[in-house]
Copies of this chain bind each other. A is one copy, B any other.
Amino acid sequence: MISRNLHARVLGTSRKFSRTASRCEILDAESLPGRIIPRYLESKTSDLLSLKWPSPPRNILLMKKNRAPNVTESLIEYAKHIHSNYDNVSLIFEPKVASQMHKRFSFPVYTSSTSEELSSKVDMTTTLGGDGTILHASSLFSTTPDVPPILSFSMGTLGFLGEWKFAEFKRAFREVYMSGAEAGSPLYQDQKHPHVQANPYESGDVVTGWSSVRGKSMGPTRSSKVLLRSRLKVGVYDGNGQRISGDNSTEGADSDVHALNEVIIHRGKEAHLAVVEVFVGGRFLTEAVADGMIISTPTGSTAYSLSSGGSIIHPLVSSLLMTPICPRSLSFRPLVLPANTPITLRLSEKNRGRELEVSIDGKRRSIGVGVGMEVRVNGEHISKGQQWIGGVPCVMRGTTTGVEEDDGWVGGLNGLLKFNYPFGES
């Protein structure tokens, strides 16, 4: 565990110590400068958005797959690379990871145990692992509309959400870091004020501009392409319409939790049918008698919903999927609804007192759902007024080549999901 006392002490003073002195330290992310929020620009050649930092990102959250010791070394290599090449960048780790690894670094690392703090500090998240790690990263921002962009690397087998191979980490990180720094912009050409300049977006702070890495620029700067993956908002309510909070931070005290893949309600371990009343847009739609129900995002359409017979939905189709799990009916076909349709799953009295399990993105809620309780779901509204708001901004791969100006979705279907895989001897 992390010593809070140490943290507290160190926090106010860390900058006073020499670099050598501070090695091995775990500092509280509270002391970090506030978050830099990027903009997302539309382009004509792609349905993806272009990432544009107002100034270079400084606070990077580094995450790794659980229970995968072999990923640890890669994470260390990655962290050291960032620290050595991007000197104004601070690295944040989850508490467990921080305490496990900080001794390996010659520089202090940061940590935070609350989602709120992370949401106010993290400029960008980068994950080493599979889809599960991305889901976990997303869950740290599950109560925030404004999720920092995620740059994800697959370790071992490629996942469907994570686009980059770890071998590409140097190029990938640089590309994201530089994204939006225009050749002619003051920021980009900031040669006279190396490493320091005023942040035009956050007054008072002193930040390093991209000039520090200009020498390593990859020519005319290409911007990273971002897919804004829309989420679900999920709330659990009791029979009286009172919101029930889960028992930990990510289960959403008094606000909705966002899901990147799906929320499911499931019979759990007993092999007996669950009975769930389904309301759509306030109207009773049907009584589901089944193993369970999935309400999924288009992103989640290739996850559990797919296994349950759902269609594959492109992530840019603004919609919600309702897919039953093993329904006791011959005629319960999956539905695709407009993203703004409110959906309610209410536990029927026919469950004879049994509780059902609720899971979000594969994480089971510690508190089940009993008779009369409701899971209320809504698609997250992704909108663009002044700024794009909502969704999980995922940095897509392969944009520097200029070849693939697409979202990589077709490639994923064929390469990973073995979509329409041909018959015959291979």
Give me the interface of A with B, judged by CB distance under 8 Å: 47, 67, 157-158, 264, 266, 268-272, 280-281, 283, 285-291, 298, 301, 304, 306-314, 316-319, 321, 324-338, 341, 352, 357, 359, 362-364, 406, 410, 413-426
Cβ–Cβ contact A264 & B271, under 8 A: yes
- Partner among B288, B364, B422 whose Cβ is within 8 Å of the Cβ of A269: B364
A283 x B336 contact (CB < 8 A): no
Report A417 CB to chain B, min CB distance, Å.
Answer: 6
Residues of B contacting A416 in the complex (Cβ-Cβ under 8 angstroms): 423-425
A298 to B311, CA, bound (A): 13
Inter-chain contact A314/B286, CB cutoff 8 Å: no
B-side contacts of A419, CB under 8 Å: 286, 330-333
Say yes or no: A420 contacts B288, CB within 8 Å.
yes
Quick one: closest B residue to A330, CB to CB? B331
CA–CA, A311 and B309, complex, Å: 9
Whether B325 lies near A410 (C-beta < 8 A) is no
Residue in B closest to A272 when the chains form the complex, CB atoms: B362
- The CA-CA distance from A54 to B158 in the complex, in Å, is 58
Asked if A312 contacts B283 (CB within 8 A), the reply is no
A417 partner residues in chain B, CB cutoff 8 A: 330-331, 423
Q: In the assembled complex, which residues on chain B have CB atoms less than 8 Å from the CB atom of A286?
A: 413-414, 419-420
**A281 and B312 alpha carbons, distance in the complex (Å):** 16
A414 touching B285 in the complex, CB below 8 Å, given contacts A307-B326, A330-B331, A333-B311: yes
Check if B307 sits within 8 Å of A271, measured CB to CB: no
Chain B, Cβ-Cβ closest to A353 = B67
User: Which A-B residue pairs are the 5 nearest by beta carbons?
Assistant: A330-B331, A271-B359, A307-B326, A332-B420, A268-B269
Cα-based distance from A65 to B329 in the complex (angstroms): 23
The answer to whether B285 and A410 touch across the interface, beta carbons within 8 angstroms, is yes
Please determine whether A280 and B410 come into contact, CB atoms closer than 8 angstroms: yes
